[in-house]
Structure 1
Amino acid sequence: MASFCPRSYLVFGMFCFWMNTISCIDLSFMTFEPCEFDGTRANNSSCCMESVLRNLCLVQRLDNWDNVAILYDTSNSQKMVNTFLSHCADVKTTLFDVTDMTSILIRSMLLTLYGMKSDGARIILMPGTQTLQILKIVNDLDINSNRTTNYRTNSKWIILCHEKVKTSFAKLTFNLVNVLIMGCFNGKFEIYTILQNAAFKLTCWENEIDVTSCKTDHFFPSFRYRLNGRHILIGTIESTSYFDLEVNDHNKTVYSGMVVQLAEMIAQTLNFTFSFVQPHDCKWGLEVNGVWEGMIGQLVRQEVDLVIADLAATSDRMEVVDFIFPAYLIQNIGLLYQNWEQPESNWSKVFSPLHAYVYYCVLGAIIAVGIIIVLFDRRSSNEASINPISPSYVVYIIFSLVGLVLLRDNKFWPKKESVRILVAFFWIFCVVLSAAYVGNLTAKLAETKENKAFNSLGELVKLEDWKWGSSDELTQEIIRKDTSPVVQELWEGMVRFNQSDPSVLLLDPSYHLDRLILKNDKYAYIVFDAKYFAYNQKECLFELFNDGLGSLNVAMAVTKDSYLKSDLERVMLELSKTGLLEKLEEDHYTDNRPLSCQTTVKSKRIVRMSDMTGTVLVSAIGLGVALVVLVLEMIIKYVVKGNNIIKIL
């Protein structure tokens, strides 16, 4: 018995199957009974080609082959093709006559077949003299196509056999895994398939004529294993948090970071192995003089199958590669800086909860209400003449109103109802004002952060003693192209600084970070993923400004029309639905600063005059009601006085 399994991948040609590490099937034993085919039935044999073709139609229907490519040899298979078409008229077929085809034409034909359907090629190989040559070419097509095809696992083949095998396959290297062999062997109709590198005779049908009792998984059991252990080259670049490598004590390279976690999750789902390849120029990828550099260049030149890195999906890059969505991270452009503003003193915090105008308003209200009380809170003119307005009485009224503002009980009780109403509404005004003051004062005293040097890009660009810079070409390009006025001012500032200080555009992230930490100047570093840098400092070194400069999707990328695209999109969608992508993002943005830095209290906005509109309105209503009552009291007083005069007369 001959043994010829040169690789761990099992394939078959025509009607031969073999498996790794075991002896292969004896080719001389597996033969097709020589039959004279007359279009309907094979003579001198219990196995008829009509039965083979009928079951061929059943297989393609059970497996939903709505588009089939038939490769045939005119000299040997024309009659079989015609019979198949008559039995399977409902199937859309594309015929390829491979008679006398050269290797170049066969390769071109196979590439055409691969692009016929997005879910993979479906091919029937009729017996002929070109069978062996076609199998030789398709075995190496994925390698020769430079990672643009995936015939090994993303195609399905049915190979028909009807003649005695005379050619040895010992020197062939087979890679196809989804292949079904149909024919009559030793007088019996049989079907063979493979599973996990072992050849199996398909015995799912109830009898040896009909396969309708079989399921699709019986025909191509390896199809469920996705990429079936294919080795994938993943382009990436060493970058903090995303991809780190180090050599351990056993002289073994150990990888870590978000890229590694994501690659392992996808590889487990799609069943492939992988290795990382970093670009020689250690760049992400920009177009320079018509040539793409970095990881994008790797994809364009088809040096890798996939890129997983902190790679932003820009419109320029989308023209030459395909990005996989949903993205696994949304990365903001932000600013890092050290705060040079002095902290607010505790003394100033006592007065800061209210705006100065509010204090002026309170003082004015006390004076106005005090005057009204002093002038009108006397019962009669006789009382007024006996007890004229004295300085001590005025002071008493003023201090009583201040006591109301401070919510103190000072036993002040007006004599007239109108003035009582006025004081009641003034009391409501004082309660609201005191509540706002106490709330803001509590927040102010609890704050531990310093005042920020600036709260917007507009404030930054107006600070004459500040500079800012960036270490990334893409960041600089995005800022340069941004049309918003404030970002344009930001870019113009960088250009102006660069004339006297070229370091602001130096392509070295470590320099900019060191400048933030060590240099004694006011400097802001514009960088992608500023939040990560801020969250991973041992001290409370950096302030973070993360608004106004935009964000980009960080996503995986593949070559245009890659065989991986549809599978990767499906996997990323599932990872998003299950929350695994969100978990990756949470791990990436873990706040590793001391707790004193993590307890950030947002600055409380002081109470302004516009905030007191409602309170002032209530006070105005109170004053109006008090005046009305006062008028009524005066009218009643004069009416009663007139009646008394009439009685006396």
Structure 2
Amino acid sequence: MSRMGFYSICLLLVFEEVFFVKSEVMSSRDVIEVKLLSDFVDFHKYSHVCLVKTPEISTNSSNRGRIRTQWETQMFRFLGGSSNAGPYTCVTDVLSLVDGGLFLKTRSLPGLEKEGDKAPIDGSQGLLVYRLETESDLKWFRKMFRGKTTGYHWLLFTHDDFFALLKTIFWPISNKVTVASMVDSTTDWKLSEIYQVTEALEHRVSQVGRWTAHHESSGNPKTFKDTEDLPLKDRRKRSFRYGMLDLPDTDYTKRRINLTGLHLRCTTVEQAPMAVLKNNPDGSVTIIGVLGDLLTTLREVTNLTYRCHRVKDGGWGSKVKGRWNGMIGEVKRGEADIAVAALDITPERSTAADFLVGMLYGRYRIVMRRPSSADFVWTAYVMQFQKNVWIVLGITVGILMVSMLLMSHWSRTEVSFSVSDVFIIVAGCMFGQGSSIAMKYTSGRLLLLSCLLLQILLMAHYTSDLISGLAMGPPLPSVNTIDDINRNKKLTLGWRKGSSLGEVFKTSVSPTYRKVWTKVEETNMEPLTLSMDEAFSKVLEEPYLFISSEVAILYTFGQDCRVYILPTSYFPVQQSFALKKGSPLIPILNKVILDIWSTGMIDKWKTKWSPATSDCNILETKPIVLKTLLTIFLVLASAMAISVVFMLVERRFKKGVSKF
């Protein structure tokens, strides 16, 4: 439905309520309240205003009911002439708000999509106006001021004597209620706010603004005292059609960062350097590191207190068989008030808890064991050429041997060679030793020169790679991406239990990521670890790769040259603390954290706690260990053993021949 259509419905409803009401003279206070409301709406530029009526007023035909309706009529007229373009006015019943939301009574008007006989309107973008004159009004207000209606903008008209009764209501710290009450005359009004840090703590009432009507004779406001409860720099004083308004900025969080008396139960998990946990005698933990500094600053700024404990199951927060585990689970179940960790903000987690503003930016890296000489005991002297090169080389040597054998038998000028002679000649050439058997003619010499030329080229490439390999160590792994890991059936990729990575791999539409999750499921979740120490052991001892946040990877593995951190990063994500769904503390803590972030302190703490990583690519000469040369000695010993066997066979053969 269009906005113009909605305006028309609002107008019809209001006039339906007031058009046939007998006009009566309004009191001076009623007139002033209407003028104050008009200026208040102009100041904040609300998109719509809704006047809330109690059931007694809606149905009562008494004089008080008619006067109240007259007051609403006057309010509508003044708002219609407001300088703010576009505000529209409607009248709603208290019962509509008690029912759980803001609804406009439609009386079955045509062209309006109905929900029964009511249609919803947006109460969070406009202003609700209510008059608190009697205990009955207060009773109805208590019924409707709960749940999401506590987040609506309210303007309550009352008097100072009524403030004591207002303290019988719970006012969440995130409420957006302004209370207007007379000071010493009908033309001078103070504007106050009332809130509680928690339901168990005391009410805090502070005057945040003032409104004074213009004198009819001069058109200028009279002088009034400054609003003492609010610094001058946070206020805006402006003259409007009917009076002068002195009000603070609309961001109420600036005025409510004092959380004295608030005690938070904190759940956390170790993740250096973000959160390093130190055990206390009473079973709690002290958080040091980046988040420890942030939590300490929050305490100093807001005066809150907290007590932290390790999350019971060691998890971060994931949904398993319909139940949330880890820190998210503890917050959701009310076992903790806040989860202090670099928690990834994901859509699924956001259904179970609310996050503070994303104050950290994270991404994920993969780490694996760096190859060592011990991994190539049997291949240290053949890894210089790829498998297909060795195959081509073997075929070439075989062709040379056959060619030389045929040439010696077919040539009329060359001495005929045996198979063993040909093998010795070619082997001598390939190892750079030549042969004592002379080639007397051109065909044989050309074959011998070809064999020697092949040996020179092969030896140049082979020895250069061998020398550099012995000096610098084995080459880096050929694994660079998750695709490479999936192609190697011997490798396994794992992560910490309860982290958001399980959700990413499980729900991803990418076949590559889904394959990772399938492989983990097939192994009964064995690749998942509970701590970074466990992950470190698995990386060093198994064909295992570990993926975690870049900060944790660099802190845990960055100084150890036994591991290799893959160059590709994955899953950029914002991270923050988590609180219970709908917590009124979120806007306040967000304000404080944004102020801290804007000073650059978070980056400073990250630099302070992040150790320098080692450059494992720097060339260092190290003594060659026995394992590296073991292959050579094994080949030498094998050759000696084979020669002894052949010697014994030859001796036995010669003895047998001599008997005959």
Q: Distance in 2 between matches of 1:469 and 1:201?
A: 58
Could you tell me which amino acid in structure 2 is paired with residue 293 of structure 1? Answer: N
**Matching residue within 337, 347, 354 for 2:369:** 337
Distance 2:604 2:506 in 1: 34
| Aligned partner of 2:615 among 594, 598, 612 | 598
Aligned residue identity for 2:566: N
Larger mean Cα displacement after TM superposition, 87-96 or 177-186: 177-186
What corresponds to 1:372 in structure 2?
A: none
- Secondary structure of the corresponding residue to residue 192 of structure 1: strand
Matched, 1:532 2:552: yes
User: Is residue 232–residue 272 contact of structure 1 (8 Å, CA) maintained in 2?
Assistant: no
Within the candidate set 431, 452, 476, 1:452 is matched to 476
Query: 1:482 Cα shift?
Result: 6.1
- AA at the equivalent of 1:83: Q
Residue type of the partner of 2:615? Q
Q: Is the 8 A contact 1:227 1:272 kept in 2?
A: no
Encode CA deviations 1:273-314: one digit per residue, 9 max, x unaligned: 474676654432222233333344456567777655332344
Cα distance change on mapping 1:482 and 1:132 into 2, 3 Å: closer
Aligned residue number for residue 86 of structure 1: 77
Match of residue 68, structure 1, among 32, 40, 49: 49
Equivalent residue number for residue 405 of structure 2: none
Residues 285 and 308 of structure 2 are in contact (CA less than 8 Å); yes or no, is this contact kept in structure 1? no
Number of the residue aligned with 2:190: 192
Partner of 1:284: 316
8 Å contact from structure 2 (residues 181, 191) kept in 1? no
* TM-score scaled by length of structure 2: 0.51
Give a deviation string over 1:392-412, Cα, whole Å, max 9, x none. xxxxxxxxxxxxxxxxxxxxx
Tell me the CA shift for residue 82 of structure 1: 1.5
Compared CA separation, residues 490 and 188, structure 1 to 2 (3 A): closer
- The answer to whether residue 497 in structure 2 is matched with residue 472 in structure 1 is yes
Give unmatched runs, 5+ long, in structure 2: 1-21, 58-63, 105-119, 194-203, 222-237, 390-460, 621-660
| CA RMSD between the two structures | 5.7
Letter in 1 for 2:92: F
CA contact (8 A) 1:326 1:572 kept: no
Structure 1 equivalent of residue 247 of structure 2: 218
Per-residue deviation at 1:159? 0.9
Indicate conservation of the 8 Å contact 2:360/2:575, yes or no: yes
1:86 deviates by: 1.9
Assess if the C-alpha contact under 8 Å between 1:192 and 1:201 holds in 2. Answer: yes
Matched, 1:123 2:129: yes
Which consecutive residues of structure 1, in runs of 5 or more, have no partner in the other structure? 1-36, 358-436, 604-649
| TM, length-normalised to structure 1 | 0.52
> Partner letter of residue 67 of structure 1?
H
Instruction: Measure the CA separation in 2 of the matches of 1:531 and 1:180.
Output: 45
| Bigger relative contact order, structure 1 or 2 (CA pairs below 8 A, ≥6 apart) | 1
Write the distance in 1 (CA, Å) between the matches of 2:549 and 2:188.
Answer: 61
Query: C-alpha distance in 1, partners of 2:587/2:208?
Result: 30
Matches within 5 A, 1:508-587: 509-516=532-539, 521-529=541-549, 532-536=552-556, 540=560, 542-547=562-567, 550-556=570-576, 583=604, 586=607
1:259 aligned residue: 291
In the alignment, the residues of structure 2 paired with residue 128 and residue 180 of structure 1 have an alpha-carbon distance, to the nearest angstrom, of 18
Secondary structure class of the residue paired with 1:551: strand
Change (3 A) 1:157 1:327: same
| Aligned with residue 270 of structure 2, among 204, 221, 239 | 239
CA distance in 1, matches of 2:530, 2:336: 26
Q: Closer, same or farther in 2 for the Cα pair 1:563/1:120, shift >3 Å?
A: farther
Q: In the alignment, what sits opposite 1:629?
A: none
What secondary structure, in the 3-state scheme, does the structure 2 residue paired with 1:527 have?
strand
- 1:258 maps to amino acid: V
Aligned residues: 450
Distance 1:307 1:62, change over 3 A: same
Gap change, CA 1:455 and 1:222, over 3 Å in 2: closer
Cross-structure match for 1:5: none
- Equivalent in 32, 35, 49 of residue 51 of structure 1: 32
Task: Measure the CA separation in 1 of the matches of 2:190 and 2:598.
Answer: 39
Match of 2:92 among 89, 96, 117: 96
1:188 deviates by 4.4
Q: In the alignment, residue 598 of structure 1 is paired with which amino acid?
A: D
Structural mapping, 1:1-80, within 5 Å:
39-42=24-27, 47-73=28-54, 74=57, 75-76=64-65, 77-80=68-71
Q: Is the 8 A contact 1:180 1:220 kept in 2?
A: no
Determine if contact 1:194/1:220 at 8 Å carries over to the other structure.
no
CA offset at residue 543 of structure 1?
1.6
Structure 1 SS opposite 2:247: helix
Distance 1:184 1:488 in 2: 66
The offset of 1:133, in angstroms, is: 1.8
Separation of aligned partners in 2, 1:149 and 1:268:
32
Tell me by how many angstroms 1:198 deviates: 4.8
Matched AA of 1:452: L
C-alpha spacing 1:283/1:290, structure 2 compared with 1 (3 Å) = same
The answer (yes or no) to whether the contact 2:179–2:192 under 8 Å persists in 1 is: no
Q: Is 2:360 the partner of 1:328? A: yes
- Answer whether contact 2:47 2:125 (CA < 8 A) is retained: no
Distance 1:600 1:232, change over 3 A: farther
* d(CA) in 2 for partners of 1:192, 1:182: 6
Q: CA deviation at 1:184?
A: 5.9
Judge which range, 289-298 or 476-485, deviates more: 476-485
For the 8 Å contact 1:531–1:544, the answer to whether it is kept is no
Cα distance between partner residues in 2 of 1:120 and 1:571: 26
CA apart distance, 1:329: 1.9
Matched to 2:190, the amino acid is: Y
- The 5 A counterparts of 1:500-511 are 504-505=527-528, 507=530, 509-511=532-534
* Alignment CA distance shift 1:112-1:219 (3 Å): farther
Change in CA separation of 1:206 and 1:275 when aligned onto 2, cut-off 3 Å: farther
Deviations 1:126-171 (A, max 9, x none): 53553322454577x4xxx4xx6755xx74423145xx96997397
Change (3 A) 1:554 1:257: farther
Report the alpha carbon displacement of residue 247 of structure 1 after superposing the two structures with TM: 5.6
| In 2: Cα distance, 1:554 partner to 1:247 partner | 28
TM-superposed deviation, 1:240: 1.8
Answer whether contact 2:334 2:580 (CA < 8 A) is retained: yes
Q: CA deviation at 1:229?
A: 3.6
Distance between the aligned counterparts of 1:552 and 1:450, measured in 2?
Answer: 32
Counterpart of 1:514, as a letter, is S
Q: Structure 2 vs 1, CA of residues 229 and 569 (structure 1 numbering), >3 Å: closer, same or farther?
A: closer
The amino acid of 1:511's aligned partner reads E
Contact 1:194 1:222 in 2 (8 A): no
**Secondary structure of 1:309 counterpart:** strand
Q: Which amino acid counterpart does residue 256 of structure 1 have in structure 2?
A: I
Verify the 8 A CA contact 1:536 1:592 in the aligned structure 2.
Answer: no
1:641 alignment counterpart: none
Q: Distance in 1 between matches of 2:184 and 2:507?
A: 74
